[in-house]
Amino acid sequence: MFEYAPAPESRSIVTIEPTYGLFIDGSFVEGKGTFKTVNPASEEVLAEVAMAAPEDVDRAVAAARRAFGPWSALPGAERAKYLFRIARIIQERSRELAVLESLDNGKPIKESRDVDLPLVAAHFFYYAGWADKLAYAGFGPDPKPLGVAGQVIPWNFPLLMLAWKIAPALAAGNTVVLKPAETTPLSALFFADVCRQADLPPGVVNIITGAGDTGRYLVEHPEVDKVAFTGSTEVGRQIARSVAGTGKKLTLELGGKAANIVFDDAPIDQAVEGIVNGIFFNQGHVCCAGSRLLVQESIAEPLLDSLKRRMATLRVGDPLDKNTDIGAINSRAQLEKITELSEIGSSEGAERWSPPCSLPDRGFWFAPTIFTGVTQAHRIAREEIFGPVLSVLTFRTPDEAIEKANNTPYGLSAGIWTEKGSRILAVADKLRAGVVWANTFNKFDPTSPFGGYKESGYGREGGRHGLEAYLA
């Protein structure tokens, strides 16, 4: 492995205020209490953030309700101008945002800079293009917005999940109250400032920070017409129960346990890159991560040798270093969950391997890990670990691969590696997964719908399909 000199991005690019309020009706206002957000790579407190109490949620929803009439009455081309403006400001300020995201989330700067931020801007550009063409989206000649959208997002892609939620909602003429995750509120609060810079009318976007209870109060609020949630299946279930019978429209994007299937005719080096990208991208905090590797038995040995060699070159450490491949685990709680499930993997008889790597003393870290000898009964083959941990299973025939791939309560994504186009089509057709990648993995595009089957949730985000969730 080459020794690289450290190449840290400058932290001073972004200004972090010591305290942040709630963004309601175009202004930052105080909440009832505060909580701290920390840098998971150092455990240093980054800022104190307001905790929204139920009355704050009421205020935010009321502001969104007031803004809805004028916003939805604007011609689509006028709404599009705001979205274009937001997209351009995000591009202009993307360096600040990338540093902020890496500081608050722990993800490597090369990912926040080269993946998250370009995709965030692309989502706003893409949905700006739809705003004046809603009548041609395939949902009737005169589709109408729903009203106030209550949106709750997780910590793994804080700004990207915000873009997935807010861009289609605004394009369709809805107004928004969004709650970011407790451990990663800063980029959403920065986005509030972007809205002000874009002169977005007050109340169209409201950002309320807080814990799970704030999210629960928001989604249960009677004045919310549409709920969009990304997060754990457990919380998704609770939300589905609370929304049932209320007439609110609901989209849920939940967990996954994706199979990445490698056939014996796959080009091994490319497949190894795809496996590494599938499970170690964003520390494995990815709902569609390729967390189960299904490899054809005849090539298991050379493929695993190759994978281990590649894993030994992954650099774990400072998220702001441009050479870093794997950053910090987002929180102590998530680190404990990954650690616990990995220990269960060993105790159930799977064989654990990590390359030698030294982890920083402070912060939350987990070395890239693979488990071989995994069977379908193992918990690490069934449960979402949401960390840099890969479970390796083998198969002999395509039918066995399909059966194992589908043997999961989830159905969000899958990958297929083979040289044969006919096999790609035949296998993809039988996989019960919302997204199937062929000879690639973790590729995202705003024009492409994303969503799951079974316990991975329902509804689609992205593309023309993503508009449907925000139109009546």
Cβ partners under 8 Å of residue 229, min gap 6: 151, 152, 153, 219, 235, 236, 239, 250, 251, 252, 253
Would you count residue 144 as binding ligand NDP (CB under 6 A)? Answer: no
Angle at 104 between CA 102 and CA 106, to 5 degrees: 50
Measured CA to CA, the distance from residue 184 to residue 209 in angstroms comes to 10
Among 26, 31, 150, 154, binds ligand NDP (CB under 6 A): 154
Would you count residue 230 as binding ligand NDP (CB under 6 A)? Answer: yes
Report yes or no: 77 and 131 within 8 Å, Cβ to Cβ: yes
Q: Is 43 a catalytic residue?
A: no
Measured CA to CA, the distance from residue 111 to residue 102 in angstroms comes to 9
Among 86, 117, 146, 219, binds ligand NDP (CB under 6 A): 219
- Number of amino acids touching ligand NDP (CB under 6 A): 26
Identify which range of 166-174, 227-235, 261-269, 374-382 contacts ligand NDP by CB under 6 A: 227-235
Among 232, 323, 339, 448, binds ligand NDP (CB under 6 A): 232
Paired tokens of 250: 């609901």
Identify the three-state secondary structure at position 359.
Answer: coil
Identify the three-state secondary structure at position 440.
Answer: coil
**Residue closer to ligand NDP, measured from CB, 108 or 154:** 154
Would you count residue 235 as binding ligand NDP (CB under 6 A)? Answer: yes
Among 109, 152, 390, 424, binds ligand NDP (CB under 6 A): 152
Which residue is catalytic, options 9, 111, 182, 253? 253
Report yes or no: 355 and 311 within 8 Å, Cβ to Cβ: yes
Would you count residue 388 as binding ligand NDP (CB under 6 A)? Answer: no
Would you count residue 40 as binding ligand NDP (CB under 6 A)? Answer: no
- Single-letter amino acid code for the residue at 401: A
Identify which range of 54-62, 112-120, 151-159, 365-373 contacts ligand NDP by CB under 6 A: 151-159
Report yes or no: 437 and 443 within 8 Å, Cβ to Cβ: yes
Using CA of residue 276, residue 416, residue 306, residue 274, what is the dihedral sign? Answer: negative
Q: Cβ of residue 154: shortest distance to ligand NDP, in angstroms?
A: 3
**Residue closer to ligand NDP, measured from CB, 85 or 460:** 460
Would you count residue 181 as binding ligand NDP (CB under 6 A)? Answer: yes
- Single-letter amino acid code for the residue at 389: V
**Residue closer to ligand NDP, measured from CB, 212 or 409:** 212
Q: List helix spans (H) across 93-152.
A: 94-105, 109-111, 117-130
Among 287, 294, 424, 433, binds ligand NDP (CB under 6 A): 287
**Residue closer to ligand NDP, measured from CB, 91 or 232:** 232
Cβ partners under 8 Å of residue 2, min gap 6: none
Measured CA to CA, the distance from residue 389 to residue 392 in angstroms comes to 10
Among 9, 384, 455, 468, binds ligand NDP (CB under 6 A): 384
Measured CA to CA, the distance from residue 328 to residue 367 in angstroms comes to 10
Among 386, 410, 437, 450, binds ligand NDP (CB under 6 A): 386
**How is residue 319 annotated by DSSP?**
T
Measured CA to CA, the distance from residue 278 to residue 258 in angstroms comes to 9
Q: Cβ of residue 143: shortest distance to ligand NDP, in angstroms?
A: 27
**Residue closer to ligand NDP, measured from CB, 21 or 154:** 154
Would you count residue 109 as binding ligand NDP (CB under 6 A)? Answer: no
Which residue's beta carbon is nearest to the bound ligand NDP?
Answer: 215
Residues 240-259 that bind ligand NDP (CB under 6 A): 254-255
Measured CA to CA, the distance from residue 201 to residue 86 in angstroms comes to 13
Q: Cβ of residue 372: shortest distance to ligand NDP, in angstroms?
A: 22
Q: Cβ of residue 149: shortest distance to ligand NDP, in angstroms?
A: 14
Would you count residue 292 as binding ligand NDP (CB under 6 A)? Answer: no
Site string for ligand NDP, 308-347 (x = CB under 6 A): --------------------------x--x----------
Q: Cβ of residue 64: shortest distance to ligand NDP, in angstroms?
A: 17
Measured CA to CA, the distance from residue 430 to residue 433 in angstroms comes to 9
Burial class (CB in 10 A: 0-12, 13-18, 19+), 441: buried
Return the CA Rg of the chain: 22
Task: Compute how many other C-beta atoms are within 10 angstroms of the C-beta atom of residue 268.
Answer: 16
Q: Is 195 a catalytic residue?
A: no
Which residue is catalytic, options 9, 101, 287, 288? 287
Report yes or no: 86 and 194 within 8 Å, Cβ to Cβ: yes
* Binding region for ligand NDP (CB under 6 A): 152-156, 179, 181-182, 211-212, 215-216, 219, 230-232, 235, 238-239, 254-255, 287, 334, 337, 384, 386
Known catalytic residues? 253, 287
